[in-house]
Amino acid sequence: MTIEKAVPSVYAKLGVRPVIHASGTTTRYGGSRMRPETIEAMRVAAQALVNIDELNEAAGGAIARMLGAEAALVTAGSAAGLVLQAAACIAGDDPARIARLPDVTGMRHEFVIQRAHRFSYDQSFRVPGGVLVEIGLGRRTMPFELENAIGLATAGVIYLVSPFTSPPGILSFEEVRRIAHTRGVPVLVDVASMVPPRENLFRYLRDGADLVIVSGGKGIRGPQSTGILAGRRDLIRAATLNASPNQAIGRAAKTSKEEIVGLVTALELFLAEDEKAEMERYREICASIVGELGEVPGIRAVVEQDPVNRVLPHAVLYFEPSWTGPSGRAVQLALAAGDPHIYVQQGPHQGGYFDEIAIDPINLEPGDEAIIVRRLLEELTRR
């Protein structure tokens, strides 16, 4: 069944169809939808040329004031922020060392990370020559392991805030900060995908993180290829010197004047929004989806939200043992292959349920939920 969805002319010209992105803010499907005010700010910024060094300093100052940080820098996405975190800790602001990267001979270049915190993007730390040192046995880490892993070559300790990375038994942020700071080593926090809640923009900086990276193109709804690196003034200065427009390891991760202005605008709008009202709006969207699907035999439809796995309300369909229809994976693939393409989350979350589909409302436009319900009913009742 084909359900009509308007195709913007710029995409129609290229033969590319828009998608209904109900799986969060995944980069592969376009990230998040920018607010009109952000788009307008970028349009205005494109009309004049500025000195990027001056813009970086001014925008970083504005962001730092909003977050209560010593300093900040707009990066080319959060992965680029990880590269710059590492470069700052390895080479500092020494021009000779900056020019040598990724040759780290004679420099501190090891980054300690709990095994439970390994993630797809931690290779970013290796771009400027960093080496990851894993600690922890399985999903458990003891304080002495971190203490013993920190040595003369240690440049920093990585702490990831993300779904599935906080099992019982790992070192808490407070423990990591205490041990690292006792040894004079900075703590680098990645909270890229965990905003909202807005509190995560402030918590780790307030509690002693030396550098924090946040995605600009996810919950903040700024330009997709932006991120925020915030923290200690000396480390932000070092990150800036390792970044574009300088001829350094971060030159490939360039941010444009339009993106920098767009992110500052998006952050202002994000912080001004009522988070409680925002969550209630998402909850209503999810409730409408659940209400339409709750009568399908063998499917348990609920609205869920929790601080770790689903920081926004989600509409979740659990496939009960009595279910005899297609698998969640089959339904997910059918939705993605249809017209319009619909992308949903699929697979067991941390609770370990055997099969499920989840719908994240952050990128849904008015009317999208009705399309999702119709397509789900079509696929769930297919025999």
**How many CB atoms sit inside 10 A of residue 32's CB?**
23
d(CA 98, CA 107): 11
Q: What is the DSSP string of 67-81?
A: HT-SEEEEESSHHHH
Residue 3, pLDDT score: 56
Whether 112 and 65 map to the same domain: the answer is yes
Whether 142 and 62 map to the same domain: the answer is yes
Whether 154 and 84 map to the same domain: the answer is yes
Whether 249 and 350 map to the same domain: the answer is no
> Model confidence over 102-152: pLDDT tens digits?
999 999 999 999 999 998 899 999 999 999 999 998 779 999 999 999 999
Residue 5, pLDDT score: 66
Q: Given CA atoms 46, 25, 290, 308 in this order, what sign does their dihedral have? A: negative
Whether 280 and 143 map to the same domain: the answer is no
**How many CB atoms sit inside 10 A of residue 173's CB?**
17
Whether 340 and 294 map to the same domain: the answer is yes
Say how many domains are in the chain.
2
Whether 45 and 145 map to the same domain: the answer is yes
Q: Which domain holds residue 322?
A: 9-30+274-380
- Among the candidates 218, 243, 272, a domain finishes at 272
Whether 43 and 25 map to the same domain: the answer is no
DSSP state of 140: B
312 alpha carbon, distance to own chain's centre: 14
- Looking up residue 142, the CATH number of its domain turns out to be 3.40.640.10
Q: Does residue 360 sit within a domain?
A: yes
d(CA 135, CA 143): 10
**CA proximity to 186, closest of 111, 77, 84:** 111
Look at residue 364 and tell me whether its pLDDT is greater than 90: yes
Q: Does residue 2 sit within a domain?
A: no
Residue 382, pLDDT score: 81
Whether 230 and 281 map to the same domain: the answer is no
Confidence band, pLDDT 50/70/90 cuts, at residue 165: low
80 phi and psi angles, rounded to 5 deg: -65, -35
**How many CB atoms sit inside 10 A of residue 119's CB?**
17
Cβ-count burial 234-247 (b if 16+ within 10 Å, e if not) = ebbbbbbbbbbebe
Confidence band, pLDDT 50/70/90 cuts, at residue 308: confident
- The CA-based diameter of the chain, rounded to the nearest angstrom, is 67
Q: Does residue 71 sit within a domain?
A: yes
Q: Does residue 291 sit within a domain?
A: yes
Tell me how many degrees the CA angle 319-321-323 measures, rounded to the nearest 5: 60
Whether 262 and 334 map to the same domain: the answer is no
> Model confidence over 197-212: pLDDT tens digits?
999 999 999 999 999 9
DSSP state of 156: E
**How many CB atoms sit inside 10 A of residue 160's CB?**
21
Residue 4, pLDDT score: 60
Q: Does residue 207 sit within a domain?
A: yes
- Among the candidates 248, 272, 296, a domain finishes at 272
Helix-then-strand count for the chain, H and E = 13, 12
Q: What is the DSSP string of 10-69?
A: HHHHHT---EEEES-S-GGGT--PPPHHHHHHHHHHTTS---HHHHHHHHHHHHHHHHT-
Whether 127 and 225 map to the same domain: the answer is yes
Q: Does residue 1 sit within a domain?
A: no
Whether 61 and 178 map to the same domain: the answer is yes
- Among the candidates 210, 237, 272, a domain finishes at 272
- Looking up residue 336, the CATH number of its domain turns out to be 3.90.1150.180
Confidence band, pLDDT 50/70/90 cuts, at residue 217: very high
**How many CB atoms sit inside 10 A of residue 339's CB?**
12
Residue 114, pLDDT score: 96
- Decide: helix, strand or coil at residue 341: strand
Instruction: Answer whether 42's CB lies under 8 Å from 223's CB.
Output: yes
Q: Does residue 4 sit within a domain?
A: no
Q: Does residue 114 sit within a domain?
A: yes
